[in-house]
Structure 1
Amino acid sequence: MTESLLPTVEILTGPAPTHAVIWLHGLGADGHDFEPVVDEFDADRLPPTRFIFPHAPKRAVTINAGYVMRAWFDIYSRDYGNRAEDVEGTEASAAQVEALIARENARGIPDERIVLAGFSQGGAIALHAGLRHPHRLAGVMALSTFLPLAERLAGEAHPANRDVPIFMAHGQGDSVIPHDFARQSAELLAAAGYPLEWRSYPMEHSLCLPEVRDIEDWLAKVLAA
């Protein structure tokens, strides 16, 4: 299993962590991208937690003229409302997330104490993998993103995570993934019965301090559950 694991950056909020957050970066970034966010959290509000930031594999990305960069899946078009999706890449990345969850299990952290999180492409994979994972997770956090392969969710969602808490947040001025398109994903998940919290902020395709505070509140709640 070790040979197939993605390389990661790890930050511990305390000795002998009892919980884990696996946080996936966006297109063209790497695992260092969200390291600084952990410093913004009040560690006293969280149990001893291992934050794991994987580096996505490098692959050619169609919308970027085939340039090779870190990406969780290929993107064929910027038209999010009417486009083909990279099924193979999405499923391969979800399998790599499953391997990271298995490593946390081997290190003594059960599934119900693990949050899957991600930004943009990473958030899409967190949703895809988390809702299909065969054991109950602590939560799924999806930032500035959307639900991939949405038409397949009903047939592939695992009952173990039909009540997993979901936190979705998005910038009202996002020019990369349109706010309304992301909200459609949130509405679809809510209609399917998932306990979802939706937040929107006056920002672009990024994070803002009020969002970080809301993330901290949500993590404190689901990791303490």
Structure 2
Amino acid sequence: MSNYPDTMNGMRDALDEAHREVNHLRGVLAAEERLHHEELQTAQEKIENLFQKTMDDQRHLEEMERAQEQSTARIAFLQGENATLRLEAAADVLLIQNATAQEIAGVRLEAARQQAELRQQHTLALVDLEDQMSALQNERNVLRRDLEFRFQDVEDEEEMDRAEEFDERIRELEAFRELFNGRQIVNGLLGIQVQEVDDLRSEDE
């Protein structure tokens, strides 16, 4: 028992270090969630801006088509060159339509690329957090087994209080585990938002 205070101090230091690690991991998890949310929001804003630009181009195309039709009808009526002017107008409209179709295809390709990149980043972040959580759980189990061994024959009230304090630290670690498991909820929300983007693309098609 002569080394008992030193042992307890060592255990307290280890627990304090584990507690600091828990706080650090909490901060990392919160930062990752904020980052993923900001990246997804930025991607959605880009998609919405590109979609709005496409719609504006489509309206502009329709306006040009109406203006071209009016010009064609007027010139054909005045100059008797209706057939030639209609062919020229059709060629111009086709060029504009082709250009717009290429831009729409580019928007869809960029949206798909950003979605794939976000999914990959999110998956890597989850794997990293899973590894950190596993390491933390292993450390917790080692500390708990060591504590149970050291206190298996202890009946002193003060020492039992210390054991209860250690159990409280263990419960804190368990609470963090539940917080970490909340990543599934974040993943689900990201999936819903990505699905909304896919639905928007489907409506555009």
Q: TM-score, normalised by structure 1?
A: 0.23
Higher strand fraction: Structure 1 or Structure 2? 1
Greater Rg, structure 1 or structure 2? 2
Q: TM-score, normalised by structure 2?
A: 0.24
